[in-house]
Amino acid sequence: MSVVSVYVVFADADEAGRIGKQAVEERLAACVNILGPCTSIYRWQGAIEQAEEVAAIFKTTVASADSLITRIAGLHSYDVPAITVWPVDKLLGRYAEWVEANVGP
């Protein structure tokens, strides 16, 4: 299957929604699930930080993943956004077909 999930953490739900909608409109992702708020604890510029953020999972294809990552990074408010690609080992065939039909030209 050529479907992957792209996990991204945003500053808030508004940013996640704005960028998610743009990715779907541009056919870089077939779907975006915007999850509830989460607490992130991380090291930034030598200090331990804690912040409430919003995670999102973008559904796309292997072929479009690099373009999606580049686009999200360009729109994201963070200097170093957390954007990771998660491989999908198994999924419903009809779902894979739907994702593939809704990503790309």
The CATH number corresponding to 3-102 among 3.40.50.1000, 3.30.70.120, 3.40.50.10280, 3.40.50.10950 equals 3.30.70.120
Q: For residues 98 and 105, give the distance between their C-alpha atoms in angstroms, rounded to a whole number.
A: 14
Average pLDDT, the chain: 96
Spell out the residues 6+ positions from residue 92 whose beta carbon is closer than 8 angstroms to its own.
none
Task: Please say if the pLDDT value at position 89 is more than 80.
Answer: yes
pLDDT at 105: 81
| Domain residue spans of the chain | 3-102
pLDDT band at 26; cut points 50, 70, 90: very high
pTM: 0.94
Contacts of 59 (CB under 8 A, 6+ apart): 3, 4, 5, 6, 29, 30, 31, 32, 33, 99
pLDDT, tens digit, 9 for 90 and up, residues 62-75: 999 999 999 999 99
CA dihedral 9, 31, 67, 90 (to 10 degrees): 90
Residue 1 has pLDDT above 70, yes or no: no
Q: Which two tokens stand for residue 96?
A: 């894979």
| pLDDT score of 42 more than 90 | yes
